[in-house]
Structure 1
Amino acid sequence: MKLGMNQGTTLENSSLERDLHLLEKYGYDYIEIRSIDKLKEYLQTHTINDLIEFFQTHHVKPLSLNALVYFNNRTEEEYKALLEEYKEMLEYAKVLNIDRIVVVPLVSEKKIVRSVIKKSCVEVLTELSDLAKPYGVKLALEFIGHPHATVNTLSFANEIVAEVNRENVGIVFDTFQFYAMNSTLEDLKNTDFSKVFLFHINDVEDFNPGIMLDEDRVYPGDGVIDLHNILTIIKEKRFTEHASIELFRPEYYQLDAEEVVRTAKEKTFKVLEQFFSVEEKK
């Protein structure tokens, strides 16, 4: 199993340029690029060709673009702007040879009935799928484990993806999002892993479901998520492609990014090597 890192892990104490060099130094295989901010910052002082050249001449490769945010249940004007952003992401994906874009459902305190949420998600994902097909890009729906998220459980995400029924539409399986709203191991067993396009690994402090936030994430193995049984199921499902670390902890942002990158790899390897063959790269 290969190892990646989502840039949320070093969001406030690093840059795309530094992340790339740190991940290369510590033998990571992949980076998930934050197109919503870190890529834009990078392009203020670099060209896209600089980034292309880096990936051509180094081991670390791009795994995904993150993210098209709040894609469903939008106004006509909001959706028009969203499509423009998405089309730009597709062009970046093309030149950077990235085949996965994360799409994040709406988070809102407004109450919306599930049927309306599902209808919007299916319609939008179908259109986005059509636009992505010529680029060879897959869309990974990331359910968000929070009460205000319109898609906040694994089972609902699976239901939506099954309704869309497109080869290039699947999900992100994130251990924090899974735990945060009481998705179950049975839900995971019932998941079609050919539709798991991204696997995010992390852990969390011992808070009650429904109140956890991204900031509560900790290194894998340092929290209360049942990673043992989750990884047992993932192994049984024969998913061995990658695990990508995604943390948003303010405490870690106070550290030097190199310490976070190094520690994240060490702790994640300790968890993964109990189940998968992980090649240690220096």
Structure 2
Amino acid sequence: MSPSVTRRQTLALLTASAGATLAPTSATAETVSTAPAAQSPFTLSLNMSTIRGHKLGFVKELETAAKAGFKAVEIWIETLQTYLASGGTLPEARKRLSDLGITVENAIGFAPWIVDDEATRAKGLEQMKREMDQLAQIGCKRVATPPIGAQSPGSPKIDLYKAAERYRAVLDIGDKTGVVPQLELWGFSPNLNRLGEVMFVAIESGHPSARVLLDIYHLYKGGSGNTMLPLVGKPAIEVFHVNDYTADFTQEKITDADRVYPGDGIAPLKETLKLIKRTDKPIVLSLEVFNKKYYAQDAQIVANTAMAKMKAMVAGV
């Protein structure tokens, strides 16, 4: 074979090979078209406080949330207990959740784990163990852990090192039950009302599962604001309570019941969400309000409005 023929054949083969490489195959096109969409940085959840005043009961609350489009909720343990006392069972509750396509991302409970009185604290730990066992059976992996019992005006200031030891005891229960206690900031409380306090207690607990539960309203009420949120460390936040407040209420005068839908006030919502959002896993944003004006409306309208307001809140974040 002559050298010129060899060169021509070689060039032809290279051209054909390059064309095959550059031209999209059907398999490549299919791969592109079926690629999963980017994961949202947030999971939208309804805290049942938002429709708690309607007194719907455990099952109806879930149905209302599902009809509004929520795939995640925060339940109140008291409502679950009432359901069980009325003849409901935990397996039935889990099945109902599955049928509705809803997960319980967190639960709101009030066991006195932080108080100085040893007898009361012991009962509080027993209560948490019992409630966390129940939550595990319906697939809930988290429980709020606020400074209940030490939140009233005039309550003595609890030593933060002792608070950390006590939070550690609750976290140890979490290891056994599979339900992680979320250390909750309460802006109106004499204890754990500042971001620095909850972070101190979480860090000094020395437990890798320590997490903090923060809230737009409580950060405002307690005077911490959102400026220092980047120092929290994103792994510490799995659930974040959202709501809004209007210019009608100062930090000193605002109460739980004054919270409004996201976007109906002046809170730095989008700025805050940008500070806390993660790229590795979504943060559960749960709408928590206790507004009597909403309780006077139809529950489904409230839930539907909550979903619409939350979608607008996260748009572009």
With the length of structure 2 as denominator, give the TM-score of the two structures: 0.81
Kindly report structure 1 stretches of 4+ aligned residues shifted beyond 6 Å.
236-239
1:210 aligned counterpart, secondary structure: coil
Contact kept? 1:68, 1:101, Cα under 8 Å: no
Report the counterpart of residue 266 of structure 1 in structure 2. 308
Distance 1:71 1:221 in 2: 35
1:91-240 pair list within 5 angstroms: 91-105=133-147, 106-110=150-154, 112-113=156-157, 116-146=158-188, 148-206=189-247, 207-235=249-277, 240=282
Q: Which runs of 5+ in 1 are unaligned?
A: 276-282
Contact kept? 2:113, 2:122, Cα under 8 Å: no
Distance 1:189 1:265 in 2: 27
Q: Which runs of 5+ in 2 are unaligned?
A: 1-41
Q: Alpha carbons of 1:94 and 1:138: their partners in 2 closer, same or farther (altered >3 Å)?
A: same
State how many pairs are aligned.
Answer: 271
Distance 1:88 1:69 in 2: 10
Distance 2:227 2:279 in 1: 13
Distance 2:79 2:155 in 1: 32
Report the counterpart of residue 251 of structure 1 in structure 2. 293
* AA in 2 matched with 1:72: I
Report the counterpart of residue 34 of structure 1 in structure 2. 76
2:202 aligned counterpart, secondary structure: helix
Shift of 1:111: 5.0
Distance 1:149 1:250 in 2: 26
2:123 aligned counterpart, secondary structure: helix
Shift of 1:269: 0.8
Distance 1:215 1:70 in 2: 23
Report the counterpart of residue 65 of structure 1 in structure 2. 107
2:285 aligned counterpart, secondary structure: strand
Distance 1:90 1:69 in 2: 11
Residues 66-108 of structure 1: per-residue CA shift (max 9 Å, x gap) = 1234421241221122122111112112211211011011202
Shift of 1:49: 1.9
Shift of 1:239: 6.2
Distance 1:31 1:236 in 2: 20
Distance 1:57 1:111 in 2: 44
- Greater shift, 6-15 or 213-222, is seen at 6-15
- Greater shift, 38-47 or 66-75, is seen at 66-75
Shift of 1:24: 1.4
* AA in 2 matched with 1:71: W
Distance 1:236 1:166 in 2: 22
1:93 aligned counterpart, secondary structure: helix
* AA in 2 matched with 1:169: A
Residues 127-184 of structure 1: per-residue CA shift (max 9 Å, x gap) = 11112102222110111011x4311011211111111121222111211111112213
Q: What's the C-alpha RMSD, in Å, of the aligned pairs?
A: 1.8
Distance 1:157 1:237 in 2: 24
Which structure has greater strand proportion? 1
Distance 1:138 1:195 in 2: 12
Contact kept? 1:73, 1:117, Cα under 8 Å: no
Highest CA radius of gyration, 1 or 2? 2
Contact kept? 2:238, 2:283, Cα under 8 Å: no
Contact kept? 1:72, 1:117, Cα under 8 Å: no
Shift of 1:235: 3.1
Report the counterpart of residue 46 of structure 1 in structure 2. 88
Report the counterpart of residue 44 of structure 2 in structure 1. 3
2:264 aligned counterpart, secondary structure: coil
With the length of structure 1 as denominator, give the TM-score of the two structures: 0.90
Distance 1:63 1:232 in 2: 21
Identity among equivalent positions (%) equals: 23
Contact kept? 1:203, 1:219, Cα under 8 Å: yes
* AA in 2 matched with 1:196: I
Report the counterpart of residue 89 of structure 1 in structure 2. 131
